[in-house]
């Protein structure tokens, strides 16, 4: 065999292996999921300094990338993202709880305004609660998802969610709005309350 041929094959093999490693093929993570995680991490690092328009634009790009994933990839991404999201939510709640009453009221108004904007957008786009397969969720599916969420949280965190929901609903009542039911409405989108 020609030494140049063997050397060329070895170089090509090394390049293919290096590219495969860089794309995540050897760490058990899907390359599309790894790419989305990098996008998520970069977005979270600068989230507090982004304008509402930048945040909304990033969220739209994020949502488009998530829609390109299959169900298994989505599940892998959301499972890997859950600790970061819970930390982010926990920090937002702690920040709100520590505010002076007038400052807290202004912040609650911002959250409520974003919730209402999201609700109007969902209604304009067909609304409804979507299941994992994109169709409407049955009561049984909602109950199962509720149980899964409970299993992934601590009693302390659930107490914070309840306190947060109470604060939001008290302010919504003062503004003449219907109460919310839970966390998805409070934190339903990355571009939501911060």
pLDDT tens, position by position, 42-83: 777 776 677 777 777 777 777 788 888 888 888 888 888 888
Q: Are 186 and 193 in contact (CB under 8 A)?
A: yes
User: What pLDDT band is residue 191 in, cutting at 50, 70 and 90?
Assistant: very low
pLDDT of residue 133: 47
Question: What's the CA gap between 166 and 33, in Å, rounded?
Answer: 36
pLDDT in tens, 133-184: 445 778 888 888 878 877 878 888 889 988 999 999 999 999 999 998 766 5
pLDDT of residue 190: 39
Question: What's the CA gap between 181 and 46, in Å, rounded?
Answer: 30
pLDDT of residue 114: 85
Range of lowest pLDDT (11-25, 30-44, 68-82, 116-130): 11-25
Range of lowest pLDDT (27-31, 72-76, 82-86, 113-117): 27-31
């Amino acid at each position: 065999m020609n030494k140049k041929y063997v050397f060329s094959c070895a170089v090509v093999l090394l390049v293919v292996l290096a590219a495969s490693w860089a794309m995540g093929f050897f760490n058990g993570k899907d390359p599309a999921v790894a790419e989305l995680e990098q996008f998520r991490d970069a977005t979270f690092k600068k989230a507090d300094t982004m304008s509402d328009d930048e945040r909304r634009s990033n969220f739209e790009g994020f949502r488009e990338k998530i829609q390109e994933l299959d169900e298994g990839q989505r599940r892998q991404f959301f499972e890997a993202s859950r600790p970061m999201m819970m930390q982010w939510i926990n920090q937002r709640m702690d920040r709100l709880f520590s505010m002076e009453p007038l400052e807290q009221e202004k912040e609650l108004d911002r959250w409520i305004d974003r919730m209402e904007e999201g609700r109007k957008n969902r209604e304009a786009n067909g609304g409804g609660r979507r299941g994992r397969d994109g169709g409407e969720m049955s009561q049984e599916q909602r109950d199962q998802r509720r149980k899964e969420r409970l299993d992934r949280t601590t009693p302390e965190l659930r107490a914070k969610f309840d306190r947060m929901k109470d604060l939001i609903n008290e302010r919504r009542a003062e503004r003449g709005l219907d109460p919310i039911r839970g966390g998805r409405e409070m934190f339903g989108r990355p571009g939501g309350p911060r």
